[in-house]
Structure 1
Amino acid sequence: AEYSQFIARKKRVKEEVQEDEQQEEEEARRTRGEREAREKAIAEASLTIQDLEQQFSDIGQVDEDLNIE
Structure 2
Amino acid sequence: SLIIGLAMVVLAFFLLTGRTWARILVTIVVAINAVSHVMSLPAQPWWSLIMIGLDVLVIYAVTVHGREVRA
TM-score (norm 1): 0.34
Q: Which has the higher contact order (CA 8 A, sep 6+)?
A: 2
Structure with higher Rg: it is 1
Higher relative helix content: 1
TM-score (norm 2): 0.34
